[in-house]
Amino acid sequence: MNELKKRRVELSHGGGGVEMNNLIRKVFFKHFENDILVRDEDAARLQFDGPVAFTTDSFTVSPRHFNGGDLGKIAIAGTVNDLAMAGAIPQYLSCGFIIEEGLEFAELESLVQSMAAELAKSGAKIVCGDTKVVPKGAADGLFINTSGVGTCIAAPSWKRLEAGDAIIVSRDIGAHGACILASREGLELDTELQSDCDTLWPAVKALLDAGIDTKAMRDATRGGLAAVLNEWAEARELGIEVAEQALPIDPAVQGLCELFGFEPAELANEGTFVVAVAAEQAEQAVAILQQFQSTATVIGKVCNEYAGKVVQTSPWGSKRYMELPKGELLPRIC
């Protein structure tokens, strides 16, 4: 075992001196190295051609390691996905680390390696960052903030939704929320339930490259599918009709929801997005998305009825509202 793996982070690693310099170079620069970052200046100087999207998010998921991902992976995927949903090429990211005194160096480096692996999926670069070390008890191990910018090559917006547009989900829903729930409850399942945590840019790029007009896109994170659809319906003052039997739900997710009284459509996702396209492009869009996830499917459509509401139709023809989730179902989900 090398020296780095034996050690824990100390307050001096955030003090701006030798220890902090070593931490930055031996962990962060080592795994994030690129031509902009290694200039080691106060700010990254960037060049863009055209409109840009800019986003930020903080990640505090508990537990830090879960089936299908970890805090590092979700910190990159989350911000890259926000850029992708804006029709922007993920290009440059910053990262800020709030590290609790005593965190093992080995775990910190493992999470940074996970971040680097996830960055490779989109080609984005970490070009600047910040490190703070706080006393033991002041944080729960590690929190990460990532911000990102990218050049826009499309302009999806709920403002473009029209009656007749098809609503598509890119894969089965609720996997991340169910996975975190199972981890916290210590449940051992017969199936290998994994979080959907993943970078969505390759799938979005494939849609755009094929000429699909993505009228609106949103990754279904906290609040899940129900939050996205209700926000679209209310903002556009149109209805959205969803076929209950069309919702792709893994049996393990369904089982957990029945056990704990949750709705799969309200559980968080970290690698699932909703996209609205014109009806005539729906079949082509689904075929493209199924190259990435076989469960991608059309779940409903935008309509003139039920203005501002989302209505879910059962296989027997009965209807009920898919409500906007209330309260905090699972804190520290991302």
The DSSP secondary-structure symbol of 171 reads S
Q: For residue 282, what are the CA distances in angstroms to 80, 88, 291, 301, 334?
A: 25, 22, 15, 10, 30
pTM of the model: 0.95
| pLDDT of amino acid 63 | 95
| pLDDT of amino acid 188 | 66
**């070009």: which residue's tokens?**
127
Q: Could you give the domains of the chain?
A: 8-152 (3.30.1330.10), 158-321 (3.90.650.10)
User: How remote is the C-alpha of 263 from its chain's centroid?
Assistant: 19
- Residue-wise pLDDT tens digits, 175-210: 999 999 998 887 766 668 999 999 999 999 999 999
| pLDDT of amino acid 3 | 56
Residues of the chain with confidence (pLDDT) below 50: 1
Ramachandran class of 244: left when φ > 0, alpha when ψ lies in -120 to 50, beta otherwise: alpha
Q: From CA 197, how far away is CA 205, in angstroms rounded?
A: 18
| pLDDT of amino acid 186 | 78
| pLDDT of amino acid 176 | 97
| pLDDT of amino acid 211 | 98
Ramachandran class of 248: left when φ > 0, alpha when ψ lies in -120 to 50, beta otherwise: beta
| pLDDT of amino acid 142 | 98
| pLDDT of amino acid 126 | 98
Tally Cβ neighbours within 10 Å of residue 115. 24
| pLDDT of amino acid 103 | 97
| pLDDT of amino acid 185 | 81
